[in-house]
Amino acid sequence: MLLHSIKSVNFRNLKSGSLEFSDRANFISGRNGHGKTNLLESIYWLLSLRPKRGTVQDCVKKGESAFKIESDLTFGELKHHVNLDVEGKSKKLHIDGTQPRRKRDYLEQVLVVDFFPEDLLILVMEPALRRRFIDIASAQYSLPHEEVLRRFKRTLEQRNRLLKTPGGPDRGVLESFDRPFSESAALVTSMRLHLLSKLGKLTDELFREGIGEKYEADIRYISSLDGIPDSWADQNLPDPSQFQDIYFNALSRNRSVDIDSGRTSVGPHRDDWCLTLDGKPVRQFASRGEVRSAMFALHLSRFHILTEKRGIEPVVLIDDVMSELDIERRKRVLELLPPGQIFLSACDPPPEIEMLGNGELRHFVMENGSATRVN
Ligand SMILES: Nc1ncnc2c1ncn2[C@@H]1O[C@H](COP(=O)(O)OP(=O)(O)OP(=O)(O)O)[C@@H](O)[C@H]1O
Ligand SMILES: [Mg+2]
C-alpha cells in the first residue's frame, strides 16, 4: 500500500497544507516542538483509526472540537481518496465519498507499523505498556482479535463495577461473569502466547545476526497462574479452551479476595512478559545500549511478522528513534526494515539518509506545523 498525499485540519499544531509523498522514503526534519511527531501521528491515525499518543481530544487542535484527515492512498491495487472526520467518540470514514459498511473492511487493506520514542520504554517500564504493545500487535495480526479484546475489557469493567457495589455484590450475579470472563481471558492469553513466541524467535535472529549483538534473546510470558505457560514452542495458535478452566477455577478460588479488594485479581490484565538476554530479563541486567538494540530487534520483528501475516507492504513510521543508535547500527536497522514506504523523522538529517530510498527520497522541513519540501 502507498500514501500519496495527506492534508489535516485541526490536527494538533499542523497547518492544513497538502503534502505529496515519495512512494519509497520520506524524511521530515525540523527543530524540537515544530510538529514532526504530529505529522507521523496523523498518518498513524489515518491508517489505524486510533490515537498513538493520548486521547482523541488531545489530538484536536486547542480550542477546536474536531479534526479531519484527507488523503490519497493506494490499497487493494487501486487509488482511493480517504477522508477521516473525528469528533469525540465519532469517527467517520469515507472512501471515495462513501462510508464503508464496516471500518474493518478498510483496516484489512491497510497496514502501518510504527516506532515512536515512547516505545523505547516498553521493555523497562510498567507492565501496562507491555500488555498494550502485545494487544495492539495482536489486533493488527488478526483483525477479529480487536473484538475479543473489547469483549474482555468490557467484561472486566462490568465485573469490577459489580465488585464495588456498596454492601457487597450479589453472589449469583458475580458468578454469572465466570464463564464469559474465562472465555475471553483464554482467547487473549492464547493470542499473546502465540505472537510472543513468534516475536521471541525472530527478535533473537535480528538481535544477533541482524544487529550483531552477542546475547541470545528470548521472550517469556509471566502469569501468576499455574498452567499458563511462559512460552509456546508450537507454531500454531494454542487452543484457548485449555486456559479457560484455569481462569474459571481461579475466579472461584479468589472470589472473597476480589470482593474484599473490589477488583478482579486474576486474568490477562494482571499478566506481563519480559525480554531476556542470555536468560536474564533486560529490565534488571542489560546495559542501555543493549536495551536499545533489543527494542529495535523487537520492533523490526513485529514489522516483519505483521507484513508477512497480512500480505501487505506496510507504511513504516520511524519517529526520531534512530539518533539513539551509533551510525553502524543505524545502517543495519535501515537494511533490516521490511519493504514498504517509509517516513522517518529527526531534528537533523542523519549521514546515512542517502541510503534511504535509492534516489527516491523526499525531504521535508517542518516549521510551526507547516512542512515544506526541500528536495
Ligand atoms: N492539541 C494540540 N493543539 C495544538 N498544539 C498541540 C496540540 N498537541 C500538541 N501540540 C503542540 O504541537 C507541537 C509540536 O509537537 P511535536 O511532538 O510534533 O513536535 P516535534 O517536532 O516532534 O518535536 P521533538 O523534536 O521535540 O520531538 C508542540 O509544541 C505541542 O505543544
Ligand atoms: Mg517528536
Q: What whole-number distance in Å separates Cα of residue 337 and Cα of residue 151?
A: 34
Contact by Cβ (8 Å): 113, 316:
yes
Report which residue type is found at 31.
R
Q: Which of 17-26, 118-127, 270-279, 324-333 has the lowest mean pLDDT?
A: 324-333
Q: What whole-number distance in Å separates Cα of residue 323 and Cα of residue 350?
A: 8
Tell which atom from ligand 1 comes closest to the C-alpha of 35.
18
Q: How much is the average pLDDT of 237-247? A: 96
Write down how long the chain is.
Answer: 375
Report which residue type is found at 191.
M
Closest by CA position to 225, among listed 178, 273, 268, 177:
268
Going from the Cα of 30 to the center of ligand 2, the distance in angstroms, rounded, reads 9
Domains of the chain, with CATH numbers? Answer: 1-111+312-375 (3.40.50.300), 125-309 (1.20.1050.90)
Going from the Cα of 95 to the center of ligand 2, the distance in angstroms, rounded, reads 30
Cell numbers linked to 27: 524524511
Tell which atom from ligand 1 comes closest to the C-alpha of 30.
21
Ligand nearest to C-alpha 67? 1
Percentage of the chain beyond pLDDT 90 is: 83
Q: Which of 241-245, 303-307, 355-359 has the lowest mean pLDDT?
A: 355-359
> What integer pLDDT is reported at residue 283 of this predicted model?
86
> What integer pLDDT is reported at residue 330 of this predicted model?
85
> What integer pLDDT is reported at residue 329 of this predicted model?
84
Percentage of the chain beyond pLDDT 70 is: 100
> What integer pLDDT is reported at residue 34 of this predicted model?
98
In this prediction, residue 228 has a pLDDT band, given cuts at 50, 70 and 90, of very high
Which pTM value belongs to this model?
0.94
More confident residue, 323 or 276: 276
Provide CB contacts within 8 A for 319, sequence distance 6+: 36, 37, 40, 114, 115, 116, 117, 345
Cell numbers linked to 302: 513485529
Going from the Cα of 298 to the center of ligand 1, the distance in angstroms, rounded, reads 27
Exposure string (b/e) for 231-242, b if CB count within 10 Å is 16 or more?
Answer: ebeeeeebebee
> What integer pLDDT is reported at residue 179 of this predicted model?
97
Q: How much is the average pLDDT of 62-81? A: 97
> What integer pLDDT is reported at residue 25 of this predicted model?
93
Phi and psi at 366, nearest 5°, equal: -100, 125
Task: Tell me the pLDDT tens digit for each residue of 152-180.
Answer: 999 999 999 999 999 999 999 999 999 99
Contact by Cβ (8 Å): 338, 307:
yes
Q: How much is the average pLDDT of 89-98? A: 96
> How many DSSP H helices and E strands does the chain contain?
12, 14
**Helices marked H in the chain:** 36-48, 56-59, 103-107, 127-141, 145-163, 171-175, 178-205, 241-253, 255-261, 282-285, 288-310, 327-336
Residue 353 has pLDDT above 80, yes or no: no
3-state secondary structure of 101: coil
Closest by CA position to 49, among listed 2, 21, 78, 90:
90
**Ligand 1 pocket, residues with Cβ under 6 angstroms:** 12-13, 30, 32-38, 58, 60-62, 320, 347, 366
Residue 333 has pLDDT above 90, yes or no: no
> What integer pLDDT is reported at residue 370 of this predicted model?
97
Residue 314 has pLDDT above 70, yes or no: yes
* H or E segment to which residue 8 belongs: strand 2-9
Residue 236 has pLDDT above 70, yes or no: yes
Q: What whole-number distance in Å separates Cα of residue 66 and Cα of residue 182?
A: 38
> What integer pLDDT is reported at residue 7 of this predicted model?
98
> What integer pLDDT is reported at residue 230 of this predicted model?
95
Task: Tell me the pLDDT tens digit for each residue of 180-203.
Answer: 999 999 999 999 999 999 999 999
Q: Which of 70-84, 226-240, 289-303, 318-332 has the lowest mean pLDDT?
A: 318-332
Contact by Cβ (8 Å): 215, 278:
yes
Q: How many CB atoms lie within 10 A of CB 34?
A: 20
Residue 343 has pLDDT above 70, yes or no: yes
Closest by CA position to 75, among listed 26, 51, 108:
108
Residue 30 has pLDDT above 70, yes or no: yes
Residue 357 has pLDDT above 70, yes or no: no
- CB-neighbour burial class of residue 213 (10 A; exposed 0-12, middle 13-18, buried 19+): buried
Contact by Cβ (8 Å): 321, 350:
no
Q: Which of 133-142, 143-152, 325-334 has the lowest mean pLDDT?
A: 325-334
> What integer pLDDT is reported at residue 309 of this predicted model?
96
Cell numbers linked to 232: 509456546
> What integer pLDDT is reported at residue 103 of this predicted model?
94
Mutate to test the pocket of ligand 1, among 10, 12, 42, 370 (most ligand atoms within 8 A of CB): 12
